[in-house]
Amino acid sequence: MKYIVALDQGTTSSRTIIYDKDMNVVASAQQEFRQLYPQPGWVEHDPYDILNSQLDTLRAAMEKGKIDPRDIEAIGMATQRETTLVWDRTTGVPVYNAIVWQCRRTAPFCESLKQEGADLIIQRRSGLIIDAYFSGSKIKWILDNVPGARADAQAGKLLFGTVDSWLIWNLTRGKSHVTDVTNAGRTMLFNISTLQWDDELLSLMGIPRSMLPEVKPNCADFGLLDRSFLGAEIPICGVAGDQHAALFGQNCVNDGDAKNTYGTGCFLLMKTGDKPIFSKSRLLTTLAWDLGPQCGGTPQYALEGSIFMGGATIQWLRDEMGLISSSADSEKVAQQVSDSGGVYVVPAFAGLGAPWWDMYARGTIVGLTRGSSRAHIVRAALEAIAFQSYDVLKAMQADTGMVLKGLKVDGGATANNLLMQFQSDLLGVPVIRPRSIETTAMGCAYFAGIHTGFFSCTEEISENWRANRVFRPNLSPDDVEVRITGWHSAVERSLGWAKK
Ligand code: ADP
């Protein structure tokens, strides 16, 4: 066998990458699909758009690489997380669109759960904080709002799945109803310590157990791609949520290793070890991965924090402010000045997440003087991405007592060298950009290959992972302190702004 296929099912596009044994890309294909916004704050996907776009890219990549399906060792899959689907066990027809992780429709229910004081039990069992983001309240919404759905679910006629389960169920022609520990861990229904669905959480959310998929380690037999798709049966044996696959794909295999993905938002994960650490700063506790019995069978955990406005801050400079003509332009403009001249931009456009957690915070620009220029503001906006990441990483270090030795980075905005340099300056540790930025696809390809023995547990990933550029800290501790103090005063001025 020569190849591993990685299916990377993201929020806005589906991708397939075919790797050879040395993790060289042999062929790839990508397809965007529709985002549905039926009401303000609601986000949905058509379940068949998810499935068909993924299948189209699989077929396209196979064709481009002229790959014989019999040469494929295994399929790995990394998916957008939390997005919720419910379908009929017999016909396979979804009873509603996929409710996407970004969708806020269940915020009022989540508010009521908080009022009932369910915070602590939910955090202790699931590692999560109560939020509309996670799948549990989305399943409940479908059962409460689709006519007949609750009765059908109680009669055992309906199945729930995150995107991984939906894809596998279809790719195996209904033979496998399964998920992996990392996706299960984002439902608010899963006990991350016992690795079981949790009856108390299920009853809080009013969800029948019969709907739920079987949960497996990330490296496991998830089923066989049905022969009807490519003309050969291929085992699906690596599955993970996208951020977890990226953490592994970044070779963050030691405790205290961390990665930050700088996309529209930023996703930071730090691997913390084989016991869950429950955060005091309201970070999420999440499974990092479970490589299964062939690699010792001990699940690994991580802390996760996200930043709502990462690259989105740069899009705002471009689209709303008209201060730059392209995202890449932000670097050139920011370089016109040597620092932000005391200007701070706090991009709290949608409130602030970890560690502030203030949904009433709003964006602000402070420290303007008569000499403040476009370049100062652009630079301050870029720096804000690094400041926010700094705050999350500090909270992670406080929760774990672990000292960060370096930060691995990926995502679109890592193309910005000024941002990467400033991130390193603030953290006082190297910021490391890998040669291959397809960390998500690589992670799930490794999971699949580990299960079949194509790869050993962590040796290949450690050998194959290469840095493209390392940014080293280059600012004095005094200068760093002045900037952090300035940033925190700016954040204070943004807090609570929209509270009536
Ligand atoms: P996503 O997966 O969330 O769509 P990507 O990883 O593709 O995001 O990254 C896109 C984001 O990165 C956009 O918000 C864009 O503004 C930002 N970005 C891209 N290039 C640069 C750059 N050179 N400097 C700063 N931000 C950038």
Residue 196 and residue 268 in one domain = no
| 225 within some domain | no
Q: Is the CB of 461 under 6 A from ligand 1?
A: no
Residue nearest atom 14 in ligand 1 by C-alpha distance = 311
pLDDT at res. 297: 77
Residue 22 and residue 85 in one domain = yes
Residue 196 and residue 260 in one domain = no
| 274 within some domain | yes
> Ligand 1 center to residue 331 CA distance, Å?
12
pLDDT at res. 21: 85
Structure tokens at 469: 């550029």
Q: What are phi and psi of 39, to 5 degrees?
A: -150, 160
- Spatial CA neighbour of 465 closest among 240, 243, 248: 248
Residue 258 falls in which region: left (phi positive, over 0), alpha (psi -120 to 50) or beta: beta
Contacts of 35 (CB under 8 A, 6+ apart): 12, 43, 45, 100
**315 CA: nearest ligand 1 atom:** 16
Q: Is the CB of 263 under 6 A from ligand 1?
A: yes
Torsion of CA 277, 279, 284, 287, to 10 degrees: 0
Q: Is the CB of 327 under 6 A from ligand 1?
A: yes
> Ligand 1 center to residue 435 CA distance, Å?
17
Q: Residue 174: which H helix or E strand, with range?
A: none
Asked if 278 and 290 touch (Cβ cutoff 8 Å), the reply is no
Instruction: Read off the pLDDT of residues 252-281 as tens digits, 9 standing for 90 and up.
Output: 999 999 999 998 889 999 999 999 999 988
Q: Is the CB of 35 under 6 A from ligand 1?
A: no
Q: Is the CB of 412 under 6 A from ligand 1?
A: yes
Q: What are phi and psi of 489, to 5 degrees?
A: -65, -35
pLDDT at res. 500: 64
Q: Is the CB of 314 under 6 A from ligand 1?
A: yes
- Spatial CA neighbour of 149 closest among 203, 89, 101: 89
Burial 19-49 (b: 16+ CB within 10 A, else e): beeebebbbbbbbebeeeeeeeeebbbbbeb
Q: Is the CB of 312 under 6 A from ligand 1?
A: yes
Q: Which of 32, 262, 388, 436 has most ligand 1 atoms within 8 Å of its beta carbon, as the pocket-test mutant?
A: 262
> Ligand 1 center to residue 412 CA distance, Å?
4
Residue nearest atom 21 in ligand 1 by C-alpha distance = 413
Residue nearest atom 22 in ligand 1 by C-alpha distance = 328
Helices (H) and strands (E) in the chain, counts: 17, 23
| 243 within some domain | no
| 236 within some domain | no
Q: Which of 487-491's residues contact partners 24+ apart within 8 Å by CB, and which partners?
A: 487/344, 487/383, 487/384, 487/387, 489/344, 489/366, 490/344, 490/345, 490/346, 490/364, 490/366, 490/367, 491/346, 491/348, 491/352, 491/356, 491/361
Structure tokens at 87: 């379908």
Print pLDDT tens along the chain (500 aa): 799 999 999 988 999 999 998 889 999 999 989 989 898 888 899 999 999 999 999 999 999 999 999 999 999 999 999 999 999 999 999 999 999 998 888 988 988 999 999 999 999 999 999 888 899 999 999 999 999 999 999 999 999 999 999 999 999 999 999 999 999 999 999 999 999 999 999 999 999 999 999 999 999 999 999 999 999 999 999 999 999 999 999 999 999 999 999 988 899 999 999 999 999 888 999 999 999 998 887 999 999 998 988 999 999 999 999 999 999 999 999 999 999 999 999 999 888 888 888 878 999 999 999 999 999 999 999 999 999 999 999 999 999 999 999 999 998 899 999 999 999 999 999 999 998 888 999 999 999 999 999 888 877 788 888 888 999 999 999 999 999 999 999 999 999 998 76
Instruction: Read off the pLDDT of residues 378-389 as tens digits, 9 standing for 90 and up.
Output: 999 999 999 999
Could you say which of 216, 242, 267 is where a domain stops? 216
pLDDT at res. 417: 97
The model's pTM is 0.91
Number of domains in the chain: 2
**411 CA: nearest ligand 1 atom:** 6
CA 494 to chain centre: 26
| 100 within some domain | yes
Residue 206 and residue 270 in one domain = no
Any bridge partners for residue 451, and if so which? none
> Ligand 1 center to residue 262 CA distance, Å?
7
Residue nearest atom 26 in ligand 1 by C-alpha distance = 413
Q: Is the CB of 23 under 6 A from ligand 1?
A: no
pLDDT at res. 239: 98
Which letter does DSSP use for residue 393 in this model? H
User: How many other C-beta atoms can be found within 10 angstroms of the C-beta atom of residue 108?
Assistant: 10
Q: What is the rounded distance in angstroms from the CA atom of residue 499 to the CA atom of residue 245?
A: 38
Residues in the chain: 500
Burial 216-250 (b: 16+ CB within 10 A, else e): bbbbbebbbbeeebbeeebbbbbbbbbbbbbbbbb
Residue nearest atom 23 in ligand 1 by C-alpha distance = 328
Q: Is the CB of 191 under 6 A from ligand 1?
A: no
Q: Is the CB of 347 under 6 A from ligand 1?
A: no
In which domain, by residue range, is 428 found?
Answer: 251-500
Residue 53 and residue 101 in one domain = yes
pLDDT at res. 102: 85
Q: What is the rounded distance in angstroms from the CA atom of residue 285 to the CA atom of residue 354?
A: 13
Residue 177 and residue 134 in one domain = yes
CATH number for the domain including 443? Answer: 3.30.420.40
Q: What are phi and psi of 487, to 5 degrees?
A: -60, -45
| 232 within some domain | no
> Ligand 1 center to residue 188 CA distance, Å?
29
Q: Is the CB of 266 under 6 A from ligand 1?
A: no
Residue nearest atom 20 in ligand 1 by C-alpha distance = 413
Q: Residue 162: which H helix or E strand, with range?
A: none
pLDDT at res. 282: 87
**10 CA: nearest ligand 1 atom:** 2
> Ligand 1 center to residue 261 CA distance, Å?
10
| 319 within some domain | yes
Strands (E), 218-309: 219-225, 234-241, 258-262, 266-273, 284-289, 300-307
Asked if 446 and 438 touch (Cβ cutoff 8 Å), the reply is no
Residue 331 and residue 191 in one domain = no
| 69 within some domain | yes
Could you say which of 199, 216, 233 is where a domain stops? 216
- Terminal CA-CA length for the chain: 63
Could you say which of 216, 241, 267 is where a domain stops? 216
Q: Is the CB of 315 under 6 A from ligand 1?
A: yes
Q: What is the rounded distance in angstroms from the CA atom of residue 9 to the CA atom of residue 96?
A: 19
Residue nearest atom 15 in ligand 1 by C-alpha distance = 311
Asked if 434 and 470 touch (Cβ cutoff 8 Å), the reply is no
Q: What is the rounded distance in angstroms from the CA atom of residue 11 to the CA atom of residue 104?
A: 16
Q: What are phi and psi of 192, to 5 degrees?
A: -80, -10
Residue 190 and residue 272 in one domain = no
Q: Is the CB of 328 under 6 A from ligand 1?
A: yes
At 438, the amino acid letter reads: E
> Ligand 1 center to residue 469 CA distance, Å?
18
Residue 211 and residue 259 in one domain = no
Residue 396 and residue 498 in one domain = yes
Q: Which of 15, 43, 264 has most ligand 1 atoms within 8 Å of its beta carbon, as the pocket-test mutant?
A: 264
Return the SS3 of 158: strand
> Ligand 1 center to residue 211 CA distance, Å?
37
Residue 70 and residue 166 in one domain = yes
Cα 161 to Cα 213, 295, 370, 471: the distances in Å are: 7, 27, 56, 41
